[in-house]
């Protein structure tokens, strides 16, 4: 992976978040949550800086980042698409919906699209099993999604107008 | 809250929020302002009502009218007709599927009749963001009773006598756990609430925290009083933003009321709770892994003993219980252990919350007394199988559990019966499967989950499950061999016997129980290269029956990949090289002219 140079503002964010947790090694997970919330993802350079601030090894930080699925080293798309793969959604056809998203966007799970607009991920149970299968785009929840609706959902964001009509359709 | 003539309760659970329940609330508030009803009508956003299938749900108080599938467009009619003129709106009422008659009161719905709500007692009744409403329903009374009238030993004795067992899945006696933590000497002890609900298809803990966070706070304080702790931690999934927000609000309110902090309720008792976030690792539901994660480390489990009760968070005695377990505690203290122990079966007392989902008519969150049969849950509460299909199995215990077939429909649900039947209680996911679900694919689905979630510390789990998955993958692709089924069994037993923690020790259960009860499906895949449920795509082809095809072009127009060709009124054809086997043509065809072969 090519190295990136962290912007001054990003470094400032990292330093501030670490300081908020007293630069304590034991607060690593909270620090990672805080930094990811602000920067969007945790590339190697960010992890190095966090390790420096908390006075611990980069390997340990990397070990924790890669252990938990919530943390990501790849930037998410402008509109992150998550397909619920909980059991309730699975038995109501989530896999077909996922395959249709992959086909339409021409990306695999975990990847951003080439224009950076979308990224695709799976998550486990949103807790809206009554609406299975469930798809989330950003914070917005789409319930009872069929593979036929996938094209329409994507179109909503490509055209840049997230409308109500498309959701109820 | 009694000063209002009418209260409008709106479900604010995750499912209903996803179906615009927030907009419904907003619309009600605006209209109430326009109509000048501010002094008469109150809008309350509550926790989950449980009947998610019919959401968003709006309940009118005091007359208890239960409106289903409400949209923001319905709010004006509800206010003008129901509130102002006192007329029920029939089209928004629940219709009994058998009699087709509208039912206005939830007590008379089959979905609620057989339920007994203890842990969920306040969900759907109170505003979870208002501590006064919790207090109005006997909230913090149990804590007061413990602090003023009972010694810690008496409280522990009461919990022991109630027969309450851990609701997170293991079923360890709660009172005993409390006693061990209390007896271990230590200057500092911790009380931990495990809210890292990771079982896919289960949302009990989340609903309790969203609908009634104070019940958990109160129970943790009671536990702290018993064990001699002053420090509580809730380990909660970061993926549950609503539950986190409501818990934070509840903690703040409890502090303001002096129910957390120093000298609680005038007693010599200090206690406060902080929140720790999980970051999406199923294994962190295991208590030793959870503790490591709270310490900022990778959430890898360690060998037990020592148990966290003796050697937990930073080496201190730590009591870890699950959300639902805690939610039962205040009721046990208020109503007494004898009352609680009178509910349920001989060895499993009280109730259990299940997230009922899958191929069932009434998806939702239910709570039933232990000893209720699967048949009652699936057919009476659940309303039977969706689309009139045949029941095939019910899966309990999530990735650690197993499948139960129709022969177990009349088995009373409790910890021991489910275990004897080759499954387990687990945290409470209950997924109903019908004839169109392939059992081999189901086993593969769960293993895929285990594979992703295995922490990788011990090799039976890390490598063994991978090999299990590969064999299943081979079978679902039609490349299975006769010996594979035996290989699956042997490897499963090795993984069970040699894995370090509960995740690995139970991960082969879906494989073993599906082989046990559905060996014919495995045989069909391996020997006949056929998937009886029609789910395994590699073993499946859609073809047009030429005699039946009328050339209506419906399949042609609906095919998402343009794999179907044909002119109007002429027989259509499916190009197998383009077909993605989505089954849309099969579903759409009105003439049965498309068949699965």
pLDDT surpasses 80 at A162: no
CB pairs under 8 A between A and B: 138
Mean pLDDT of chain A: 88
CB B379, CB B391: distance < 8 Å = no
- DSSP per position, B176-214: HHHHHHHHS--S--EEEEEE---STT--HHHHHHHH-HH
CA distances from B507 to B45, B119, B270 (A): 39, 28, 41
Minimum CA–CA partner of B200 in chain A:
A86
CA distances from B114 to A72, B147, B179, B526 (A): 45, 35, 34, 43
**Gap between the Cα atoms of B497 and B523, Å rounded:** 26
Minimum CA–CA partner of B581 in chain A:
A96
CA atoms B275, B281, B287, B291: torsion sign: negative
Portions of chain B given CATH number 3.30.70.20:
541-596
Three-state DSSP class for B229?
coil
Q: ipTM of the predicted structure?
A: 0.86
pLDDT surpasses 60 at A131: yes
Residue with tokens 């400032």: A12
Class of B131-340 per CATH?
Answer: alpha beta
Domain B351-434 fold is Ubiquitin-like (UB roll) (3.10.20)
Asked if the structure places residue A61 within a domain, the reply is: yes
End residue of a domain, out of A44, A67, A90: A67
Overall average pLDDT of the A143-160 stretch: 88
Minimum CA–CA partner of A146 in chain B:
B584
Of A24, A29, A127, the CB nearest to B14: A127
Domain B541-596 fold is Alpha-Beta Plaits (3.30.70)
pLDDT at site A125: 78
The answer on A63 and A84 residing in a single domain is no
The answer on A157 and A89 residing in a single domain is yes
Q: Which uninterrupted H or E stretch holds B396?
A: strand B391-396
Count of C-beta atoms within a 10 Å radius of residue B163: 23
pLDDT at site A1: 64
Helix, strand, coil share of chain A (percent; to 5): 50, 10, 40
Minimum CA–CA partner of B585 in chain A:
A148
Asked if the structure places residue A3 within a domain, the reply is: no
Testing the interface with A: which of B201, B450, B454, B558 to mutate, by most A Cβ within 10 A? B201
Q: For residue B549, what are the β-bridge partners? A: none
B439-527 CATH choice from 3.40.50.1100, 1.25.40.10, 1.20.1440.230, 2.40.50.140? 1.20.1440.230
Query: With an 8 Å Cβ cutoff, are A132 and B357 in contact?
Result: yes
Contacts of B207 in chain A (CB under 8 A): 127
pLDDT at site A160: 63
**Gap between the Cα atoms of B308 and B191, Å rounded:** 10
Three-state DSSP class for B142?
helix
Question: What's the start-to-end Cα distance of chain B, in Å?
Answer: 63
Query: With an 8 Å Cβ cutoff, are A69 and B279 in contact?
Result: yes
The answer on A144 and A100 residing in a single domain is yes
Q: For residue A107, what are the β-bridge partners? A: none
* Order of strands, sheet of B41-46, starting from the edge strand that comes earlier in the sequence: B41-46, B6-11, B58-61, B65-67
Three-state DSSP class for B369?
strand
The answer on A46 and A127 residing in a single domain is no
Residues whose CB is less than 8 angstroms from the CB of residue B529 and which lie 6 or more positions away in sequence, other chains included: B478, B539
Which tens digit of pLDDT belongs to each residue from A32-89?
999 999 999 999 999 999 999 999 999 999 999 999 988 999 888 889 999 998 888 9
Q: pTM above 0.80?
A: yes
pLDDT at site B180: 97
Contacts of A28 in chain B (CB under 8 A): 296-297
Asked if the structure places residue A14 within a domain, the reply is: yes
Nearest to B171 by CA among B426, B344, B537, B371: B426
The answer on A97 and A49 residing in a single domain is no
Report the CATH number that the domain containing residue A113 is assigned in CATH: 3.40.30.10
Asked if the structure places residue A72 within a domain, the reply is: no
Which two structure tokens, joined as six digits, stand for B396?
């309990």
Asked if the structure places residue A74 within a domain, the reply is: no
CB A142, CB A167: distance < 8 Å = yes
In B433-501, where does DSSP find H-type helix?
439-453, 459, 465-476, 482-498
- DSSP per position, B298-336: ------SSSPTTTS-GGGS-EEEEEHHHHHHHHHHHHH-
In this structure, the strands spanning B58-61 and B65-67 are antiparallel
**Gap between the Cα atoms of B178 and B29, Å rounded:** 46
The strand ranges marked E within A14-143 are 79-84, 118-123, 135-137, 140-142
Q: For residue B236, what are the β-bridge partners? A: B195, B277
Which range marks the domain in which residue A58 is found? 8-67
* Number of compact structural domains in chain A: 2
- CATH homologous superfamily of domain B6-111? Glutaredoxin (3.40.30.10)
Count of C-beta atoms within a 10 Å radius of residue B485: 17
Query: With an 8 Å Cβ cutoff, are B431 and A91 in contact?
Result: yes
The whole-angstrom distance between residue A166's C-alpha and the CA centroid of its chain comes to 23
Of A26, A126, A147, the CB nearest to B296: A26
Minimum CA–CA partner of B14 in chain A:
A128
The answer on A86 and A34 residing in a single domain is no
CA distances from B112 to B349, B358, B368, B516 (A): 20, 19, 10, 34
**Gap between the Cα atoms of B197 and B204, Å rounded:** 8
Per-residue model confidence as pLDDT tens for chain B (597 residues): 447 889 999 999 888 888 889 999 999 999 999 999 999 999 999 999 999 889 899 999 999 999 999 999 999 999 999 999 999 999 999 999 889 999 999 989 999 999 999 999 999 999 999 999 999 999 999 999 999 999 999 999 999 999 999 998 789 999 999 999 999 999 999 999 999 987 887 889 999 999 999 999 999 999 999 999 999 999 998 888 889 999 999 999 999 999 999 999 999 999 999 999 998 888 998 999 999 999 999 999 999 899 999 999 999 999 999 999 999 999 999 999 999 999 999 999 999 999 999 999 999 999 999 999 999 999 999 999 999 899 999 999 888 899 999 999 999 999 999 999 888 998 898 999 999 899 999 999 999 999 988 999 999 999 999 999 999 999 999 999 999 999 999 999 999 999 999 899 999 999 999 999 999 999 999 999 899 998 888 888 888 999 999 999 999 998 888 899 988 899 999 998 888 887 889 888 999 999 887
Which two structure tokens, joined as six digits, stand for B517?
């009860």
Query: With an 8 Å Cβ cutoff, are A25 and B15 in contact?
Result: no
Nearest to B15 by CA among B337, B347, B365, B324: B365
Portions of chain B given CATH number 3.40.30.10:
6-111
The answer on A127 and A94 residing in a single domain is yes
CA atoms B161, B167, B168, B170: torsion sign: positive
**Gap between the Cα atoms of B164 and B201, Å rounded:** 24
B382 φ/ψ angles, rounded to the nearest 5 degrees? -75, -15
**Gap between the Cα atoms of A149 and A100, Å rounded:** 9
The answer on A142 and A104 residing in a single domain is yes
Residues whose CB is less than 8 angstroms from the CB of residue B294 and which lie 6 or more positions away in sequence, other chains included: B192, B233, B235, B276, B313
């Amino acid at each position: 992976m090519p190295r990136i140079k962290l912007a001054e503002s990003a470094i400032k964010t990292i330093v501030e978040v670490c300081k908020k947790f007293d630069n304590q090694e034991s607060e690593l997970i909270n620090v990672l949550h805080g930094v990811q919330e602000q920067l969007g993802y945790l590339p190697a350079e960010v992890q190095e800086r966090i390790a420096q601030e908390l006075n611990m090894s980069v390997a340990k930080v990397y070990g924790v980042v890669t252990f938990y699925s919530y943390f990501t080293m790849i930037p998410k798309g402008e509109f992150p698409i998550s397909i619920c793969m909980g059991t309730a959604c699975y038995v109501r056809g989530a896999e077909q919906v996922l395959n249709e998203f992959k086909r339409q966007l021409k990306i695999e799970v975990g990847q951003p699209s080439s224009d950076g607009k979308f990224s695709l991920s799976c998550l486990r149970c949103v807790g809206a099993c009554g609406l299975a299968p469930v798809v989330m785009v950003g914070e917005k929840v789409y319930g009872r999604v069929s593979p036929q609706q996938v094209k329409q959902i994507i179109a909503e964001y490509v055209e840049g107008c997230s409308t109500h009509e498309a959701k109820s359709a | 809250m009694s000063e209002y003539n009418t209260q409008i309760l709106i479900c604010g659970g995750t499912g209903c929020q996803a179906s615009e329940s927030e907009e419904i609330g907003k619309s009600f508030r605006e209209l109430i302002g326009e109509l000048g009803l501010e002094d008469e009508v109150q809008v309350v956003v509550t926790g989950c009502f449980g009947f998610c299938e019919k959401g968003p749900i709006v309940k009118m108080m005091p007359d208890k009218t239960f409106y289903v599938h409400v949209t923001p467009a319905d709010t004006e009619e509800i206010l003008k007709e129901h509130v102002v003129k006192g007329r029920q709106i029939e089209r928004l009422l629940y219709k009994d599927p058998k009699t087709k008659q509208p039912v206005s009161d939830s007590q008379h719905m089959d979905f609620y009749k057989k339920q007994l709500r203890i842990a969920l007692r306040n969900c759907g009744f109170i505003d979870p963001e208002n501590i006064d409403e919790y207090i109005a329903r006997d909230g913090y009374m149990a804590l007061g009773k413990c602090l003023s009238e009972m010694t810690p030993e008496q409280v522990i004795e009461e919990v022991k006598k109630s027969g309450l067992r851990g609701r997170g899945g293991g079923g360890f006696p709660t009172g005993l756990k409390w006693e061990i933590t209390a007896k271990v000497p230590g200057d500092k002890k911790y009380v931990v609430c495990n809210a890292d609900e990771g079982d896919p298809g289960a949302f009990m803990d989340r609903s309790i925290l969203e609908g009634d966070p104070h019940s958990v706070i109160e129970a943790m304080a009671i536990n702290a009083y018993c064990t001699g702790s002053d420090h509580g931690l809730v380990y909660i999934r970061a993926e549950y933003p609503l539950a986190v927000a409501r818990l934070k609000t509840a903690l703040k309110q409890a502090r303001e009321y002096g129910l957390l902090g120093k000298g609680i309720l005038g007693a010599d008792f200090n206690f406060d709770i902080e929140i720790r976030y999980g970051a999406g690792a199923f294994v962190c539901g295991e208590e030793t892994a959870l503790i490591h994660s709270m310490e900022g480390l990778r959430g890898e489990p360690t060998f037990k003993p020592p148990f966290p009760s003796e050697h937990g968070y930073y080496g201190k005695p730590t009591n870890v219980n699950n959300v639902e377990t805690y939610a039962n505690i205040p009721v046990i203290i208020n109503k007494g252990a004898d009352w609680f122990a009178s509910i349920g079966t001989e060895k499993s007392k009280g109730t259990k919350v299940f997230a009922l989902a899958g191929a069932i008519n009434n998806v939702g969150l239910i709570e039933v007394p232990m000893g209720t049969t699967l048949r009652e849950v699936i057919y009476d509460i659940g309303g039977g199988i969706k689309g009139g299909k045949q029941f095939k199995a019910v899966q309990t215990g999530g990735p650690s559990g197993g499948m139960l077939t129709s022969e177990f429909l009349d088995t009373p649900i409790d910890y021991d019966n489910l275990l004897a039947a080759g499954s387990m209680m687990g945290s409470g996911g209950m997924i109903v499967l019908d004839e169109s679900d392939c059992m081999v694919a189901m086993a593969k689905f769960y293993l895929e989950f285990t594979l992703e979630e295995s922490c990788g510390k011990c090799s039976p789990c890390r490598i063994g499950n991978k090999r299990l998955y590969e064999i299943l993958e081979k079978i679902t692709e039609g490349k299975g061999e006769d010996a594979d089924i035996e290989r699956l069994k042997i490897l499963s037993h090795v993984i069970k016997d040699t894995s370090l923690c509960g995740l690995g020790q139970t991960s082969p259960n879906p494989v073993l129980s599906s082989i046990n009860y559905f060996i014919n499906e495995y045989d069909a895949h391996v020997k006949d290269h056929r998937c009886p449920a029609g789910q395994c795509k590699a073993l499946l082809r859609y073809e047009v029956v030429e005699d039946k095809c009328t050339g209506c072009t419906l399949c042609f127009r609906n095919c998402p990949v343009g794999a179907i060709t044909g002119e109007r009124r002429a027989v259509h054809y499916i190009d197998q090289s383009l077909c993605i086997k989505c089954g849309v043509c099969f579903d759409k065809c009105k003439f049965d002219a498309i068949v699965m072969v």
